Amino acid sequence: MDLGLQNKVAIVTGGSKGIGLGIVSLLLKEGAKVVNVSRSPADVLPTPEMSDKYLFVQGDLSTTETCRMAVQQTLQRFHFIDILVNNAGVNDGVGLSAGPDAFQQSLQRNLLHYYAMAHYAADFLKQARGSIVNIGSKVCETGQGGTSGYAASKGAINALTREWAVELAPAGVRVNAVLPAETWTPLYERCLAEMPDPVAARAAIERLIPLERRFTTIEELAAMAVFLASPASSHTTGQIIFVDGGYTHLDRKCTVDTVADFGAAAT
């Protein structure tokens, strides 16, 4: 399927690994020009034939100067901006006991750069009648415990998605969010590797995912994000879409091994 992304210019924050790298790779495959804004270079560099369509901007996104610089360097290299993918963030475990200073720092790491990037890119996105895709998390709806800063940031990202969709609609700019749940990333793999029985730990999580009893892949997350960023979704805005195999919202009886034993009478 041709998503109409040939030579479109996309900025992706946190595009050096995990879901962000998956989004960068698929955008390049679809013919877009991509700017990756991150603290470190990508785990896998673009192939040589794509190098003229790729720009790495190194910086700490918790500073607004990095956000301003990223937009400026994008314009210097590619002259316009069609797509902004806000992806960078970290589940930093800042809970109630951490205190107000730590909470504020967590918001700086996980939320404020979403606003700053959209602020600095807004005029150029309007010129292009472009799109914004915000990557969120199911934690904003389910809670997790011990991660107030991250959960608050992700809840705010949902709200900003709807707010920006309203504000930018008159300019033809679409804004949507993609929310993962249990996605198999290198970070997740490392976390499970630290457990006494990584195989059993993975299997226990997979049993809770109704669709196919498996983790969501990076490629599946990237496919939804890139579709929403593209002209192929030209009349979709203000949507918050979960790519999670039903993990977040489906009835809990779907997570048991004997789901076939349940029917309408069990509701």
Q: Which of 121, 139, 138, 132 is nearest to 160 (CA)?
A: 132
Residue 267, in any domain of the structure = no
Question: What average pLDDT does range 195-220 have in this prediction?
Answer: 88
Domain-embedded: residue 141: yes
Q: What is the DSSP string of 247-259?
A: TTTS-GGGGSTTG
Could you tell me if residue 1 is inside a domain?
no
Residues serving a catalytic function are 150
- Considering the domain boundaries, does residue 251 fall inside one? yes
**What pLDDT, in 10s, does the model give residues 148-193?**
999 999 999 999 999 999 999 999 999 999 999 988 677 777 877 8
Domain range enclosing 180? 9-257
Is the Cβ–Cβ distance between 175 and 164 less than 8 Å? yes
- Is 264 contained in some domain? no
Write the CATH number for 188.
3.40.50.720
**Structural domain includes residue 96:** yes
Q: Which of 14-23, 92-101, 200-209 has the lowest mean pLDDT?
A: 200-209
Whole-angstrom distance, CA of residue 189 vs CA of residue 228: 27
Q: Is residue 85 part of a domain?
A: yes
pTM, whole model, 2 decimals? 0.92
The arithmetic mean of pLDDT across residues 50-73, rounded, is: 95
Structural domains in the chain (count):
1
Has residue 263 been placed in a domain?
Answer: no
